[in-house]
Amino acid sequence: MLYISDNQDQKIRILMRDCGQQAQKMALEPFEISEKGPNDYVTNIDQCLDKQLTAGFLQLFPEDGIITEENPLSRTAFNENYPRIWCIDPLDGTEDFIQKKLYYSVMVGLLSNNEPIAGWIYAPTFDKMYWGGKNWGLFQTVGDENSQPLAIASPPPIARENCKIILGDKDQKNFGPAIAQQIPGVQFYSLGSFGLKVIEIIEGKAGLYLYFNGRVKLWDTVGPLALAKAAGLICCDLDGEPLKWTADSIDPVTLTHKQAIAIGWPEYIELLPKLRKIKTLSHLLPSSLADTLSIF
Per-residue pLDDT of the chain (296 residues; tens, 9 = 90+): 568 999 999 999 999 999 999 999 988 888 888 777 666 778 889 899 999 999 999 999 999 999 999 999 999 999 998 999 999 999 999 888 888 889 999 999 999 999 999 999 999 999 999 999 999 999 999 999 999 999 999 999 998 888 999 999 889 998 999 999 889 889 999 999 999 999 999 999 999 999 987 789 999 999 999 999 999 999 999 899 999 999 999 999 999 999 999 999 999 999 999 887 775 555 444 343 333 333 22
* H or E element that contains 14: helix 6-26
Instruction: Report the pLDDT value the prediction gives residue 281, as an integer from 0 to 100.
Output: 52
Q: Which of 156, 141, 258, 148 is nearest to 211 (CA)?
A: 258
Instruction: Report the pLDDT value the prediction gives residue 125, as an integer from 0 to 100.
Output: 95
Other C-beta atoms closer than 10 Å to the C-beta of 246 total: 9
Other C-beta atoms closer than 10 Å to the C-beta of 83 total: 10
For 179-214, letters b (16+ CB in 10 Å) and e give: bbeebeebebebbbbbbbbbbbbbbeebbbbbbbbb
Query: Is-above-0.85 flag for pTM?
Result: yes
End-to-end CA distance of the chain: 47
Q: Report CA-CA distances (Å) from 261 to 126, 146, 236.
A: 27, 34, 6
Q: Which of 79, 48, 53 is nearest to 68 (CA)?
A: 53
Percent helix, percent strand, percent coil in the chain, to nearest 5: 35, 25, 35
Cβ–Cβ under 8 Å, residues 68 and 85: no
Cβ–Cβ under 8 Å, residues 177 and 281: no
Which of left, alpha, beta for 111 (phi over 0: left; psi -120 to 50: alpha)?
Answer: beta
Q: What are the start-end ranges of the E strands in 102-253? A: 105-112, 115-123, 128-133, 137-142, 148-149, 164-167, 187-189, 208-211, 234-236
Instruction: Report the pLDDT value the prediction gives residue 214, as an integer from 0 to 100.
Output: 78
Identity of the amino acid at 164: K
Q: Which of 181, 180, 178, 187 is nearest to 158 (CA)?
A: 187
Q: Is the dihedral of CA 11, 195, 250, 232 positive or negative?
A: positive
Q: Is the dihedral of CA 175, 122, 67, 50 positive or negative?
A: positive
Cβ–Cβ under 8 Å, residues 117 and 3: yes
Instruction: Report the pLDDT value the prediction gives residue 187, as an integer from 0 to 100.
Output: 95
Distance of CA 134 to the CA centre of its chain: 17
Cβ–Cβ under 8 Å, residues 36 and 104: no
Instruction: Report the pLDDT value the prediction gives residue 287, as an integer from 0 to 100.
Output: 41
Cβ–Cβ under 8 Å, residues 38 and 52: no
> What angle, 0 to 180 degrees and rounded to 10, lies between the N-to-C axes of helices 6-26 and 44-60?
160
